[in-house]
Chain A
Amino acid sequence: MTKTKTTYCYRQTFELHPSGGVYWHEFNMLLIADVHLGKVTHFRKYGSAVPQGAITQNFDKLDQVILYFKPAVICFLGDLFHSYVNQEWNMFSNWIQTVEAKIVLISGNHDVISPVKYEELNIHISDEWSLGSVLLTHHPESREGMFNISGHIHPGVRLKGEGKQSLTVPCFFKQTHQMILPAFGVFTGKHILNPKLEDEVFVITEDEVIQIP
């Protein structure tokens, strides 16, 4: 049973999913950051034998979260593709045909593939996207009067418990004017952040989003 968590910012409703995706109710839009498609193949091409099984898992995960929310729009917040075109691009092109939603890509630092190739697949590409008072970007940004949703950081936190227990887990990192999404991709790392008292942290496990009090 998948357990999501709903949070409100600037009077908008965001439903956080354990996959790392966010569903924005008012706009019927699914937000996903840092999938890093093509990374496994990129490593293999350079002689590092990362298991190929990890490639299909990204697409399976995408399918599952899309099926869960059935969004009208999917917006990727950058680093959709890790490298230059490789075999995984073809898999991506085939996969995109199966998706009914409109797709937008906010380009990130890893997105080096020509915009023309994206346009050919009917993916609209842009540096940022503001919708009302919400600003979608790849790198976290702060802009007067706007709530920013971004990726890039791959946020995670370190948790501590009794009996000298500790864990690091990926999370949604929410501040007053900003929310950073965890990396969606299977073969991606995380960067540990130290929250302040006023920050909200939602960690993700396989099937549950848990807010850390």
Chain B
Amino acid sequence: MNRKELQQIAIDWFQQQGWQPFAFQKQTWTAFLQGKHGLLNAPTGSGKTYALWGAIVLEYIKRNPEYKSKHKKGLKAIWITPLKALSIEIKQATERFAEGIGVPLTVGIRTGDTEQKERAAQKRNMPDLLITTPESLQLLLASKGYDTMFKDVTSIVIDEWHELLGSKRGVQMELALSRLKTVSLSLRIWGISATIGNLEQAQEVLLGQNNTHLQNSVLIRANIKKKIKVKSVLPDTMETFPWRGHLGLHLLEYVIPIIHQSKTTLIFTNTRAQCEIWFQKILEKYPEFAGEIAMHHGSINKETRIWVEHAIRDETLKAVVCTSSLDLGVDFAPVETIIQIGGPKGVARFMQRAGRSGHQPGKESVIYFLPTHAIELIEASALQNAVLSNQVEDRMPFLNSFDVLVQYLITLAVSNGFYPEEIFEEIKRTFCFQAITSEQYRWILNFITIGAQSLQAYDEYKKVEIEDDGKFKVKSRGVAMRHRLQIGTIVSDAVMTVKYLKGGYLGSIEEWFISKLKPGDVFTFAGRNLELFKVKNMQVLVKKSKQKKAKVPSWMGGRMSFSSEMSDLIREELYAANEEDKKSKELKALQPIFERQRKESIVPNSSQFLIETFKTREGYHAIFYPFEGRFVHEALASLLAYRISLLLPISFSLAFNDYGFELLSDQEIDMQEVLDNDLFSTQFLHDDLRKSLNATEMARRKFRDVAVISGLVFTGYPDKLIKSKHLQSSSQLFFNVFRDYESDNLLFQQAFTETFEHQLEEGRLQQALERIEQQDIVWRHCKQPTPFSFPIITDRLREKLSSEKLADRIKKMTIQLEKP
């Protein structure tokens, strides 16, 4: 059959469904049948699954003309999804197509939720298409004979590649692909990505460096333009608008009419805690919604989440309060309106959420932005401009993630074993390890075999062993088992399951929250008020409570930062506050806040860099406003605090948000001295920044992830906590011993590199400092905190930097006594 005849099979099926294939679907079929690799840029709900699965099936028909009668068993295609929740939808769609055109291809799912029995059955007899996650794919690489299993795989699709790209799961995927390119004899690699700023780079990362795959590849853009309408939820009067606060409940009453107006509304919150509170408060104030609204977030049990998803589709819900858990995947046709509470921090995320509404072709997506504090109104206005000009941020791929490489090499050593030279050639062609040196590789090989760089007498380190012929292999069953348990790159806090005393699973909750509660305390979870009965074997046993007042668990989510594009927009928007004719509706509403700001200080224009200092009960505050986004501010705060700390022994507490940063100290900073010493200089920037990290705790948090991923820290056997306790130790402790005894360790160094370098786009900090050098510095000594400073100084998530002697710091401190 020629290509045209093949494609006609798919087109016929589309027409039977009453559809017409889109241009991007036909382009994908053609490119795939031509033997090309590629990246498909298409949004959720556009038919992207059929674009690639269609191509895979047509290719199968091409290779097996007698496909209707003869079926050769064995794995032929792999579909990677970052969310296991999406796998069922994909299975249904792929089965529907295969059955529709009469190709007897089987589809199976293998994720963390797949039962042991099912997995074993799969190992004996693999389906034709396996839908799985990056972690489960690694687990397959950790099983003996994976090369035979993958030998006849002709295609692998990485769905939602943009979600993986900027994370270590992306690195894990790059490594798995580098292996598959060797063991699968004729493999085609395809990715699917939503729109991001760096699509070409995404394609390069997916296909790797210096190889024929990238050369023989295409980037196909679906070019489906969605009309998005952004509206701000504004109060009638600004008098009561809070200066800070992250809940946004003061605007609750404005949300109700929006919910009434549309069939179904999704209300996106940024944290699970916020989600719980909004759900509770809506019901409390408007009990008539009982049964008509629901809640959806990642800690709620799977059954409830699936129930909510079905209910949305069946149009039985008026509104769902949710988190990023509903960002991806499945289509919800009845959703007409989206409400975003608080800044979404990214244009792409905001647009993706907007795209969850008005799914029918031609329909407009409507999203309401509800600011949680006054300054966020500037964000609202900037977001509208961003959506108009389609300014989407980049997803930065990781470089030199040695922790993931260590994990991967041990994975290979657990299954078939590996020969270092062969694998070195493969990994050098990945984007992440394109610059790895043979010294670094040697270091890693030493690390996994002798746990050091030189062999010590009588050392008992045991992990990977080297066989006589040079093969690296894990021989200890214990090592292999612990490694399999720990495969993955998502590091989370210890999680406990929440259960009713009488039975019934409610969800999972972070250990540190529960550790703050005593039996008898009441907390809110999954929309209910629960009384803690006791904690036993990592299970939280609870009873229903009638008590109204309850503690709300807060989940530590990753804090997002503005992209540089978004920061530019925010700055422009803010500068416009000084120009009467350029003001948007949001800026006009902010007028009373600007007036208060001007009483004590100024609203800077584009040629001004504002610094405010004032004293409160807490100490001496110095606030700087570069408006460059949180990540830049983190680095700037650390840099500046470090440079000041060289002038005198001083301790700082640092806080930052997307607008500026604060240095707080018990001593007054001589700001004139700071300015005279040119502390914003770009000279020795890299060096100073690195040194500043030694004085803060920032690298510690990164090290925690690195230590878990590389297997330095063992997180324990499931449900067997006691037995592994003597192997557990806090990553803090690990950090300290590495700092004191092995600070040149590559994994330890990686924590420092990752702290700033990964999250800051190259040169962004330099550019920010250069911009500040061009500006006039306006330093205002204020009598009290200004509206601009308020959200920063009240932030409780802080960093510390000190150049004082520990003993001197201790002598100025006191203990908080236990309340009697």
Contact = CB atoms under 8 A, between A and B. Distances in A.
A and B co-occur in one complex: yes
A164 interface: yes
Contacts of A186: 737
A158 B816 contact: yes
A145 interface: no
Contacts of A158: 815-816
Please indicate which of the listed interface residues B667, B815, B818 has the most CB atoms of chain A within 10 Å of its own CB. B815
Interface string B736-778: 0110111001000000000000000000000000000000000
B809 A52 contact: no
Given A164-B619, A164-B798, A165-B813, A52 B740 contact: no
B116 interface: no
Given A47-B462, A50-B737, A208-B807, A157 B712 contact: no
Contacts of A45: 460-462
Nearest to A206: B806
Nearest to A157: B815
A213 B729 CA distance: 31
Interface in B424-459: 447, 451-452, 456, 458-459
B545 to A, nearest CB: 26
B666 A212 contact: no
Contact of A167 (B476, B740, B745, B809): B809
A117 interface: no
A163 interface: yes
Nearest to A186: B737
Nearest to B712: A48
Interface stretch (A5-13, A136-144, A189-197): A189-197
A187 B729 contact: yes
B525 interface: no
Contact of A210 (B730, B742, B810): B810
Contacts of A161: 651, 666, 809, 812-814
B349 interface: no
Nearest to B460: A45
Interface in B691-732: 711-714, 726-727, 729-730, 732
Interface string A139-158: 00000000000000000011
Nearest to A90: B458
A110 B452 CA distance: 27
B456 A52 contact: yes
B641 to A, nearest CB: 12
A212 B815 contact: yes
A155 B410 CA distance: 37
Interface stretch (A65-73, A79-87, A119-127): A79-87
B455 to A, nearest CB: 11
Contact of A54 (B740, B800, B817): B740
Contacts of B742: 51, 53
B656 interface: no
B512 to A, nearest CB: 13
Contacts of A48: 711-714, 727
A195 B459 CA distance: 42
Interface string B477-518: 011001100000000000000000000000000000000000
B653 A163 contact: yes
A157 B814 CA distance: 10
B623 to A, nearest CB: 14
A49 B451 contact: yes
A39 to B, nearest CB: 8
Contact of B459 (A52, A157, A162, A212): A52
A43 B807 contact: no
B620 interface: yes
A208 B807 CA distance: 7
Contacts of B459: 41, 44, 52, 87
Contacts of B730: 189
Contact of B815 (A42, A53, A195): A195
A11 to B, nearest CB: 27
Contacts of B806: 167, 169, 205-206
A213 B813 CA distance: 9
A42 B800 CA distance: 34
B811 interface: yes
Interface residues of B, number: 57
Contacts of A208: 807
Nearest to B743: A51
A210 to B, nearest CB: 5
Contacts of B479: 46-47
Nearest to B406: A49
A201 B478 CA distance: 43
B820 interface: yes
A77 interface: no
A187 B811 CA distance: 26
Given A163-B618, A189-B729, A210-B810, A46 B462 contact: yes
Contact of B738 (A51, A163, A166): A51
B280 to A, nearest CB: 30
A157 B810 CA distance: 11
Contacts of B482: 46-47
A155 to B, nearest CB: 12
A61 to B, nearest CB: 12
A45 B461 CA distance: 5
Given A49-B461, A49-B712, A205-B806, A163 B664 contact: yes
Contacts of A33: none
B734 interface: yes
B121 interface: no
Nearest to B724: A46
B201 interface: no
Nearest to B816: A160
B814 A159 contact: yes
B729 A163 contact: no
A156 to B, nearest CB: 11
B324 interface: no
A198 to B, nearest CB: 10
Contacts of B809: 161, 165, 167
B247 to A, nearest CB: 23
Contacts of A44: 451, 459-462
B453 to A, nearest CB: 10
A128 to B, nearest CB: 23
Nearest to A162: B666
Contacts of B478: 46
B652 interface: yes
B817 A197 contact: yes
A50 B458 CA distance: 15
A196 B818 contact: yes
Nearest to B714: A48
A203 interface: yes
Given A45-B462, A49-B451, A51-B745, A159 B815 contact: yes
12 contacts: A47-B463, A48-B714, A49-B447, A53-B741, A54-B740, A87-B460, A158-B815, A160-B816, A164-B798, A167-B809, A205-B807, A210-B811
Given A48-B727, A201-B815, 9 more contacts: A41-B459, A47-B462, A52-B459, A52-B741, A83-B726, A90-B458, A164-B618, A165-B809, A210-B811
Interface of A: 40-54, 57, 82-83, 86-87, 90, 110, 157-167, 169, 186-189, 194-197, 201, 203, 205-206, 208, 210, 212-213
Interface of B: 447, 451-452, 456, 458-463, 476, 478-479, 482-483, 618-620, 651-653, 664-667, 711-714, 726-727, 729-730, 732-734, 737-738, 740-742, 745, 798, 800, 806-807, 809-818, 820
Q: Which are the 4 A-B pairs with shortest beta-carbon distances?
A: A53-B741, A49-B451, A163-B619, A162-B666
